[in-house]
Amino acid sequence: MAISASDVKELRQRTGAGMMDCKNALQETAGDFEKAVNLLREKGIAVAAKRESRAATEGVIGAYIHTGGQIGVMVEMNCETSFVAKTDEFQALARDIAMQIAWGEPRYISRSEITEDAIKQEQEIHRQWAINEGKPEQALGKIVVGRMEKFYAEVCLLDQAFIRDGEKTVHDVINDIMGKLGEKIVLRRFARYRVGEELG
């Protein structure tokens, strides 16, 4: 079927994928826009998986100072080549992630950074809450799992809803950019400062 240039342009703006990739996705999905978006995201994730074993030693330090100068964030974003590190897309990603950290106040980058003891403690807290709310014993396991997912979405940066598009997580956005730029991208570390915070 014929795919209009306006549809290709709109899909490109929404996903950040290349023009030919967008055109092919629309053709593969018979012009179904939502299916084309999902197809491009799946391809981006597939590219990300292939890149997982590669070294990401280039990159940038992204920074964001919140209005009023009361909150500041620095984040290190890594990629494979200095060429990609200099692209507008990569630099914009680093700035957006820094803004995300200022807004979302994550404590960790990913779930893997949380100790097993801390996870067990959090699970027990949610279990006791559920018991105090009078939830049935047989439902406690499922309730705790659901509430832990909400906990991760609050404290883990990669699990947070992206500040510019609540339909995606930060992890989704990074995978999308990986698919577009064709390189492994790693969110290495971050520091968040707030005026008057206690040290230590």
For 159-192, give one letter per residue: b (16+ CB within 10 A) or e.
bbebbeeeeebbbbbbbbbbbbbebbbbbeebeb
pLDDT band (50, 70, 90) for residue 162: very high
**Cβ–Cβ < 8 Å for 72, 193:** yes
pLDDT tens per residue, range 100-151: 999 999 999 999 999 999 999 999 999 898 888 888 888 888 888 889 999 9
Q: Which secondary-structure segment (H or E) carries 187?
A: strand 186-194
Report the pLDDT value the prediction gives residue 93, as an integer from 0 to 100: 96
Report the pLDDT value the prediction gives residue 185, as an integer from 0 to 100: 92
Report the pLDDT value the prediction gives residue 97, as an integer from 0 to 100: 96
Q: Mention every residue, 6+ apart, whose C-beta is less than 8 A from residue 149.
A: none
Domains and CATH numbers, the chain: 5-51 (1.10.8.10), 58-109+156-194 (3.30.479.20), 115-154 (1.10.286)
pLDDT tens per residue, range 171-184: 999 988 988 888 88
19 has a pLDDT exceeding 80: no
Token representation of residue 75: 């984040």
**Distance (Å, rounded) from C-alpha 47 to C-alpha 21?**
13
What phi, psi does 149 have (nearest 5°)?
Answer: -60, -40
Q: Is the pTM of this model over 0.75?
A: no
Report the pLDDT value the prediction gives residue 88, as an integer from 0 to 100: 94
* Least confident among 21-25, 151-155, 186-190: 21-25
